[in-house]
Amino acid sequence: MAEPVGPDEARVFYARPQDFAAPDQAASLAALLSPDERARHARFRFPDDRQLYLVAHGLLRQSLGALLGSDPVDLRFQVGPHGKPRLAGPPEPPLQFNLSHTRGLVAWVVTLDCPAGIDVEDRRRMRDVEEVAADCLAPSELADVQARSGDDQRDRFLAYWTFKEAYLKARGAGLSLPLREFAIGIGQSAPATISFDGIADDPAVWQLAPLRLTDDHAGAVVIHARRPLAVKVLEVVGTPGPRP
- pLDDT tens, per residue, the chain with 244 residues: 789 999 999 999 999 999 999 999 999 999 999 999 999 999 999 999 999 999 999 999 999 999 999 999 999 999 887 788 999 876 677 899 999 999 999 999 999 999 999 999 999 988 888 889 999 999 999 999 999 999 999 999 999 999 999 999 999 977 778 999 999 999 888 899 999 998 999 999 999 999 999 999 999 999 999 899 999 999 999 876 544 4
Nearest to 8 by CA among 96, 114, 97: 114
Report whether the peptide linkage leading into residue 91 is cis, meaning its omega lies within 30 degrees of zero: yes
SS3 call for 113: coil
Pairing of the two strands 105-111 and 193-196: unpaired
pLDDT at position 244 is 43
Between 23-30 and 47-68, two packed helices, what is the crossing angle to 10 degrees? Answer: 60
pTM for this predicted structure: 0.94
Q: Are 235 and 212 in contact (CB under 8 A)?
A: no
pLDDT at position 204 is 96
Could you tell me where the beta strands, DSSP code E, fall in the chain?
Answer: 9-15, 77-79, 85-87, 96-102, 105-111, 116-122, 182-185, 193-196, 206-214, 217-224, 230-235
DSSP type of residue 179: G
Q: Are 72 and 62 in contact (CB under 8 A)?
A: yes
